């Protein structure tokens, strides 16, 4: 089993993913900014680490990452403030990738969003632009590294219960997906390193078993 570090551990997706990974036998550490959230992390079965990733240096992040087998980025500024969006979703994310490489950790899983990329099409006067631009930059940086990366691009997130089924691939356009299903996709990606390295998986809720999509079975 793997030693998994989740950055953004108190986010809704991360809080759903952590207990799944713990149940699979992984040693999970979830990173939070607020010490008041430690109890919530421990309730998932994970170990809590407190660090403000927005202000953390690459060296601090390297120390945090060292000893892990893979990093899962599930952090975000939460929108509303373009300056913070760039600081977290782009700059801190890129520092975490540099830290992962410096710590000689091979695998990195990025939770991005469906539509990220140079053709995201969000106009600059749209409040969503900063997020789209920041995530696009972070994804591009990750794809240019030597890490064994996986970029997950879920559609608009819902609070529905996991179905265990999604759709992905050619012809699939942005729709909706439950955060619970996203957590299960993370679980499957962690479980199948041999087929998920250097892959982008954009997905919605759908008819196909998650493991089938992730493994290409």
Give per-residue pLDDT as tens, 42-54.
Answer: 999 999 999 999 9
Cβ contacts of 31 within 8 Å, gap of 6 or more: 5, 6, 7, 8, 9, 48, 49, 50, 51, 53, 64, 75
Q: 1 pLDDT band (50/70/90 cuts)?
A: confident
**How buried is residue 14: exposed, middle or buried, by Cβ count under 10 Å (0-12/13-18/19+)?**
buried
Quick one: average pLDDT of 23-48?
Answer: 98
CATH number of 3-215: 3.40.50.720
Pairwise CA distance, residues 73 & 9, whole Å: 9
* Tens of pLDDT, residues 58-93: 999 999 999 999 999 999 988 779 999 999 999 999
Residue 217 confidence (pLDDT) above 70: no
The H-or-E segment that residue 84 falls in is: helix 82-85
């Amino acid at each position: 089993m793997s030693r998994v570090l989740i950055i953004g551990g108190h986010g809704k997706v991360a809080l759903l993913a952590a207990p799944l990974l713990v149940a699979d036998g992984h040693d999970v550490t979830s990173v939070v900014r607020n010490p008041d959230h430690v109890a919530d992390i421990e309730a998932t079965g994970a170990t809590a680490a407190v660090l403000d990733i927005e202000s953390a240096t690459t060296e601090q992040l390297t120390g945090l990452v060292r000893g892990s087998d893979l990093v899962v980025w599930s952090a975000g500024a939460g929108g509303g403030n373009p300056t913070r969006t760039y600081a977290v979703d782009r700059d801190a994310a890129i520092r975490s990738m540099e830290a992962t490489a410096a710590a000689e950790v091979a695998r990195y899983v990025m939770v991005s969003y469906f539509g990220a990329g140079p053709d995201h099409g969000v106009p600059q006067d749209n409040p969503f632009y900063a997020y789209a631009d920041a995530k696009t930059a972070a994804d591009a940086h990750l794809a240019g590294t030597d890490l064994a990366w996986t970029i997950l691009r879920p559609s608009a997130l819902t609070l529905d219960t996991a179905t265990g089924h999604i759709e992905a691939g050619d012809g699939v356009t942005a729709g909706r997906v439950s955060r619970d299903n996203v957590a299960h996709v993370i679980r499957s990606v962690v479980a199948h390193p041999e087929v998920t390295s250097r892959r982008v998986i954009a997905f919605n809720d759908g008819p196909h078993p998650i493991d089938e999509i992730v493994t290409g079975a």
